Amino acid sequence: MKPRIEILDKLRPHVFKTLSTHYKSLDNCKYADLRLGISEFKSASSENGQSKDVTDDYDASFGVRVIAGEMSSWGFYGQSLGRNDLKIKKITSLIITGINIAYERAIANAKKKREFKKKADSLTAVRLAKIKVCQDTVPADFEIDPRKVSLQKVLKTSMNVSRQMKELDSSVLYTATGIRTGITRELFCSSEGANIDQALPLTQGVVYVAAQKGESSPEVCYDYIGDLRGWEIIEGKNCYNLSFLDFALERTKDTIELSGAEFLKTSKGEVVVVTDPHFNTLLVHEIVGHPTESDRILKMETAYAGRSWLYKSRDENQLGNRIASPLVNAFSDPTVMGYGYYKYDAEGTPASRINVIKDGILKTFLNGRENAAILGHEPNGSMRATTSAMAPIVRMTNTAFGPGKKNPKSIIKEVKDGYYIVSHRIPSISESRENFRISAKKVYKIENGKLVKLYRGGGIMANSKEFLMSIDAVGNDFKMFPIPNCGKGQPMQIMRVGNGGPTLRGKARLAGC
């Protein structure tokens, strides 16, 4: 019998008491927090209508952070948990051990930091910006409880969808689908008095299809639906307003159509481009979301994933400067529904909307409490971790371009000679994300306001700032889409985020064959 998230009802008071009592016994221990989480989930996948695998399982872990030492430093300890670990006596022992190990690591880091301080004046003691300390319970919100959906139904749905995709046309070479549904519940408590119990459901469907017409090379498509909701996502209550089956068949038809299309050629110079909301999902992710994460700003991510074109140094950065057309707005908002939704982040900071770009002006960065203190900004609750056993890092949430007022059909109709860029595929980004090349699923030639020809294998490339400055039209068709596989950190953490925006019109160079 797998553990259920209800076990945390019994553990919550003991976990809080253990942390709040034990950290006080440690000399020069200035702060401690703990996250204890359990996930219950079912999943199934299939290929060409045949079962591939099924899972009915759970995951449990905890993580402890400590700030200690004369020159205050972090120490962290994380551990996965088995069924027998989730008993009051056992978990209490494990938490005490974890706090001790995190404390010892913090003390060792503080000593090393003090030694290197003689050679590196930039080293400072860890400080946390103040936040509202909360005690709260946040239940999972769904219409159809994922745990009441049978594993047989999950598998049957997956098999039926991949079978109908395969049978749609003889040009379809291969189909695969995967479905995952479940609930994650996490306790957070801190030495400051925070005591938060937050649960989030998750349901996701993934499709993969390959098709080929004649002698042309095969066309492939990988796409997904999902949200932090229940099984209703599979039945049609999602950002596409399509059942998983209809979504999969639509993607299959697109792939069949594209398999017979001509490949796009790279342009010699800039052209007028209209980018649709789905393409802008990946665009905002890469040139706004990641570059505004404050650990990149402060060079903490440099060795793993690069820096940011928005912040070279304290004296040379884009804060308060125009980086985009006055029509461009961008925000990060974990309070709205999407893959980046939550009420409290992994530090217990209440979630809030963050206006990153306002009327083309860069306003702020996504941060955690430590980075907020370094930058002198207000904490905005952007710390997350893939599991409780992993240290939280700064992550974008529901990050998107804001809507405009223009009808998207009018935006295309006004173009005499240009291209319509539809749906994202693969990004290629420079080290500081000052340049990008992002491929699209479809590219249409626009002539005199009409779509006249479909291309495949293309996309756009541009300097990030120059593209944002070139935008002269913003649509009123705002949409938020799921991104289930955003990787960051060392060790790597895969996080789900929400991204999106409206239709945009600007100038870029076509990237093709």
Q: Are residues 184 and 281 in the same domain?
A: no
Helical spans, DSSP H, in 228-344: 232-235, 244-259, 277-284, 294-297, 302-305
CA distance 357 to 464: 14
Chain position carrying tokens 């308060």 = 320
**Residue-level pLDDT at 303:** 76
Q: Are residues 172 and 75 in the same domain?
A: yes
Look at residue 305 in the predicted model and tell me its pLDDT: 76
Going by C-alpha positions, the residue among 267, 264, 252 that lies closest to residue 219 is 252
pTM of the predicted protein model: 0.96
Same domain, 311 and 460: yes
C-beta of residue 415 within 8 angstroms of C-beta of residue 446: yes
**Residue 133 Cα distances to 129, 177, 278, 349, angstroms:** 12, 43, 38, 8
Token digits of residue 371: 């980075």
Q: Indicate if 325 and 432 belong to the same structural domain.
A: yes
- Between the alpha carbon of residue 85 and those of residues 82, 189, 388, the distances in Å are 5, 19, 15
Evaluate whether residue 232 is within a structural domain: no
- The residue from 196, 229, 258 where one domain ends is 196
- What is the residue type of 279? F
Do 281 and 167 sit in the same domain of this protein?
no
Domain containing 16 equals 7-196
Cα distance between residue 498 and residue 393, in whole Å? 17
Q: Where are the alpha helices (DSSP H) in 376-413?
A: 408-413
What are φ and ψ of residue 85, in 5° steps? -80, -20
Q: Which helix (H) or strand (E) holds 88?
A: helix 88-116
Specify whether 16 is located in the same domain as 143.
yes
Domain's final residue, options 168, 196, 224: 196
CA distance 128 to 99: 19
- C-beta of residue 20 within 8 angstroms of C-beta of residue 189: yes
| pLDDT tens sequence across 188-237 | 999 999 999 999 999 999 999 999 998 889 999 999 999 999 999 999 99
Distance CA 20, CA 17 (A): 5
Same domain, 467 and 346: yes
487 CB contacts (<8 Å, ≥6 apart)? 493, 494, 495
C-alpha–C-alpha distance, residues 174 and 170, integer Å: 10
Residue 210 lies inside a defined structural domain of this protein? no
Residue-level pLDDT at 119 = 75
Residue 83 within any structural domain of the chain: yes
The whole-number pLDDT of residue 114 equals 87
Pick the range with the lowest mean pLDDT from 70-74, 213-217, 444-448.
Answer: 213-217
Residue type, 237: K
Co-location of 182 and 90 in the same domain: yes
C-alpha span between 11 and 92 (Å, rounded): 9
Task: Please write the tens of the pLDDT for every residue from 276-300.
Answer: 999 999 999 999 999 999 999 999 8
Mean pLDDT of 137-151: 97
What is the C-alpha to C-alpha distance for residues 169 and 163, in angstroms, rounded to an integer? 11
306 & 184 share domain:
no
Taking only the tens place, the pLDDT of each residue in 321-380 is: 999 999 999 999 999 999 999 999 999 999 999 999 999 999 999 999 999 999 999 999
Q: Which of 130, 180, 133 is nearest to 154 (CA)?
A: 180
Neighbour count for residue 130 (Cβ, 10 Å): 12
Q: pLDDT band at residue 123, thresholds of 50, 70 and 90?
A: confident
Residue 117 clears pLDDT 80, i.e. is over it: no
Average pLDDT, the chain: 96
Does residue 212 belong to any structural domain of this protein? no
Tokens of 310: 């928005």
**Is residue 408 assigned to a domain?**
yes
Peptide bond into 326 cis (omega under 30): no
CATH number at residue 63: 3.30.2290.10
Q: What pLDDT does 306 receive?
A: 84
Question: Is residue 342 located within the same domain as residue 485?
Answer: yes
- The CA-atom distances, in angstroms, between 109 and each of 28, 32, 116, 124 are 13, 15, 11, 12
**For the chain, how many structural domains are there in total?**
2
User: 182 with 277, same domain?
Assistant: no
pLDDT of 273 reads: 98
Could you say which of 158, 177, 196 is where a domain stops?
Answer: 196
- 418 domain-assigned: yes
> What is the token pair recorded at 295?
């650990």
DSSP letter string, 364-379:
--B--HHHHHHHT---
How confident is residue 116, by pLDDT bands cut at 50, 70 and 90?
Answer: confident
**Residue 1, pLDDT above cutoff 80:** no
Assess if residue 396 is contained within a domain.
yes
* pLDDT given for residue 2 in this prediction: 77
Cα–Cα distance measured from residue 186 to residue 82, given in angstroms and rounded to the nearest whole number: 16
Residue 286 DSSP symbol = I
| CA atoms within 13 Å, Cβ hemisphere of 302 | 7
User: What's the confidence (pLDDT) of residue 118?
Assistant: 75
99 and 12 fall within a common domain? yes
According to the model, what pLDDT value does residue 121 have? 74
Confidence category of residue 401, pLDDT binned at 50, 70, 90: very high
What is the percentage of the chain residues whose pLDDT exceeds 90? Answer: 94
Question: How far apart are the C-alpha atoms of 39 and 194, rounded to whole Å?
Answer: 22
What is the C-alpha separation between 414 and 87, in angstroms, rounded? 66
